[in-house]
Structure 1
Amino acid sequence: MTILDPLTAADGAPQGPKAPRPRSAGGGFGRYLLVRFLLIIPTIFILVTMVFFLARLTGDPITAAQGGRLSPEELDALREAAGYNRPVFVQYLEYLGQIGTLDFGTTITTNRPVVEVLATYGPATFELVFYALIVAFAVGIPLGQRAAYHRDKPEDAVYRVLAIFWYAVPVFFGGLLLKLVFSVWLKWLPVAGRADVDSEIQMQLLPFRTGFYTIDAIRTGNPEVLVDVLAHAILPAIALGLLTAGIFLRLVRTNVIGTLATDYVDAARSRGVAEGRLLRTHAYRPALIPIITVIGLQVALLLGGAVLTETTFEWRGLGFQMAEFLENRDFVAVQGIVALLAVIVAVTNFLVDILAAFIDPRVRY
């Protein structure tokens, strides 16, 4: 039986069943954006909660940091003043309220607001992570492309072994090897620190310091200061960046090989397109989309590796400070630093998801 559409029945034209209306791309992107944004809250909540209760497994922060240094009476007085003698769940709810107002507490060992510690040492860590990402992109992506081009050949095997080696070697051990070779034996690069004393003095004379040494070095107007800052950043960036470069190498290799096996690449190959052009034009760019989607996870990995990297190279950032706070059992400071890193990782993943949705609309649905 033929169903006539009332709008066209007067014309006598038979109409079949209506096709489903396609979803609006804008609506799909809006829903995708809202869901990804709402995921930031539980991510931060879970990380902060885990750190809070794990820190409490050793007792209250006052006893952990000052136990053995103060008398029991003094410890009791400090615990009562800080509110650590109340039930843990009550302390937890108050801590969540403090974080909601961007109050991360006060360090026990140095009596400084945690926000001040974050503002002072945060730029150093972010600068190191930025340089490490540059190393990861510059090394991992081209080598992954070459490994795919030479698939199942000895060169491919070498690249795959390198990727596993870079990921498996501990960051501190790789950093020590780099220092031994390039600083001690060859004397090409500085051993540790973020800059020489002379460069530090020139940057301190600036009316306002950003904490990002590269920016501050440029603002001094002295090229020697900039060269010195970049020289100090090379080895830490390589030690930390190779960790992620191995992941990028294997990811690019796998995706390029998969793209080369698709029908449209076979069609281009049948038209006589050279293999080199196929790799650059048809296979390379689509293979970069998965790289974008995992950048957020790699930022989390780099921030975690920054603790060992900064300790190895005496790079005074959040990782270096966190190692000192852990040694002194100052869990209030550790909680604040981890909370900030959780916010950074969550926001980074959100921004990366948005970028991936613009590049590949399929991820919106």
Structure 2
Amino acid sequence: MSDNATAASATSSATSKPKKNHLSGGFFRFVLTRFLLIIPTVFILVTIVFFVMRATGDPISAAMGGRLTPDELQRRIHAAGYDRPLIVQYIDYLGGLLHGDLGTTLTDNQPVVTILTRYGAATFELAFLSLIVALIVGIGLGRLAAKYRDRAADAGIRVFAILCYATPVFFLGLVLKLIFAVWLNILPPSGRSDLSSEMQFQRLVSPTGFYIIDALQLGDMTVLADVLRHAVLPALALGLLTAGVFIRLVRTNVISTYTSGYVEAARSRGVSEKRLLDKHAWRPALIPIITVMGMQIAMMLAGAVLTETTFEWKGLGFMLSNYLKARDFVAVQGIVILIAIIVAVVNFIVDVISALIDPRVRY
């Protein structure tokens, strides 16, 4: 009898369906496939940007056509190789990209890579701080709206979310500057820090370009406070734009899971409403936020152009605006390509995180 029971148990174990393992071979194939997709994505974006930038002619004529004599203009075009067939220029440009060469700016004669490394940290710092604002405001108010759904608080939060999403970031920035910098005079209206803090940063042997990190390296809390004060208004302006999306996502998904069958079953067992919200309805509602975070970061990088211009925050967005005005398409091309690569990589990371936490993802 014992032998028969053992045999039956073994047969049952052999025929039972194994549980899905996130770290299985299928998962690693999924990650590898998503990673390899970055290559054609970036290639297509680089190709589009290159030919769009050439649609109005060669970059030297666009940037300096009215400031040079015709002979000097033709000499510089020939020296730069812009009089060659477009397909030859494109192949040479791709070869330069493979070697990390994005060209040289036409207006100030600097390598584009130098521009990206010098001003990229400012944009990443602003995007990071804005994302923190978006998550705090979006998740906090989204949970509150779900908790008090169809009441006055819910209605007010939904109106606030629509205003955040619909208001142009430059207009919101101007309103924040008017209120906090002009009327109340409690926050600086522009820049990343005061001149005294900039001078302190020059003491650093290896500055990172991230002012918060550099202030911590200095160990000077006065400089850190100055940097944070300058970051409040730009981070609010850009963060609230994304917070409006997060509020609506969190509210909708918390309400959806809050009324699902397994939550109702837990409620029938006497589980408190607070525990239902915190333990049962809350975590599943986070999955859509993580899923759309890649798109929202892309929106943040796009919004950084207007935000940095509004607050004179000298990052890639600020420089992109200046180079567009100067019609320096070589610099514009390099900055846009970097942003495209960042967006592609962020979306890859989001796909991997979603696959790890969302059991509905199949691979």
Instruction: Give the TM-score range, shorter chain.
Output: over 0.9
Alpha-carbon distance in structure 2 between the residues aligned to 1:39 and 1:232: 39
Alpha-carbon distance in structure 2 between the residues aligned to 1:90 and 1:218: 48
1:222-301 counterparts in 2 under 5 A?
222-301=220-299
Q: Choose which of 26, 45, 56 in structure 2 pairs with 1:28.
A: 26
Alpha-carbon distance in structure 1 between the residues aligned to 2:54 and 2:18: 53
Alpha-carbon distance in structure 1 between the residues aligned to 2:252 and 2:199: 48
What's the CA shift string for 1:31-80, capped at 9, x where partnerless?
Answer: 21112111111221222122111111111101000011001111111111
Instruction: For 2:162, give the aligned amino acid.
Output: I
TM-score norm. by structure 1 comes to 0.93
State the 4+ residue runs in structure 1 displaced beyond 6 angstroms. Answer: 18-21
Query: What is the percentage of aligned positions where both structures have the same residue?
Result: 63
Q: Secondary structure at the match of 1:288?
A: helix
What's the CA shift string for 1:165-213, capped at 9, x where partnerless?
Answer: 1111111000000000000000010010000011110111111211000
Task: Tell me whether 1:194 sits opposite 2:192 in the alignment.
Answer: yes
Aligned CA distance change for structure 1 residues 23 and 32 (closer, same or farther; 3 Å): farther
CA RMSD of aligned residues (A): 1.9
State the partner residue of 1:352: 350
Alpha-carbon distance in structure 2 between the residues aligned to 1:354 and 1:96: 29
Alpha-carbon distance in structure 1 between the residues aligned to 2:245 and 2:36: 28
Bigger Cα displacement from structure 2, 240-249 vs 78-87: 78-87
Q: Secondary structure at the match of 1:206?
A: coil
Gaps of 5+ in 1: 1-10
Q: Choose which of 70, 83, 86 in structure 2 pairs with 1:85.
A: 83
What is the aligned residue count? 352
State the partner residue of 2:4: none
State the partner residue of 1:4: none
Gaps of 5+ in 2: 1-6
Q: Choose which of 98, 103, 106 in structure 1 pairs with 2:104.
A: 106
Alpha-carbon distance in structure 2 between the residues aligned to 1:88 and 1:161: 51
Aligned CA distance change for structure 1 residues 23 and 88 (closer, same or farther; 3 Å): farther
Measure how far apart 1:258 and its partner are.
1.1
TM-score norm. by structure 2 comes to 0.93
State the partner residue of 1:362: 360
Instruction: For 1:328, give the aligned amino acid.
Output: A
Instruction: For 1:172, give the aligned amino acid.
Output: F
Alpha-carbon distance in structure 1 between the residues aligned to 2:18 and 2:41: 33
1:127-146 counterparts in 2 under 5 A?
127-146=125-144
What's the CA shift string for 1:262-289, capped at 9, x where partnerless?
Answer: 1110001111222222111111111111
Q: Choose which of 29, 46, 49 in structure 2 pairs with 1:48.
A: 46
Measure how far apart 1:20 and its partner are.
9.7
Alpha-carbon distance in structure 1 between the residues aligned to 2:204 and 2:288: 42
State the partner residue of 1:148: 146
Aligned CA distance change for structure 1 residues 97 and 20 (closer, same or farther; 3 Å): farther
State the partner residue of 1:181: 179
State the partner residue of 2:156: 158
Measure how far apart 1:23 and its partner are.
8.6
Measure how far apart 1:127 and its partner are.
0.2
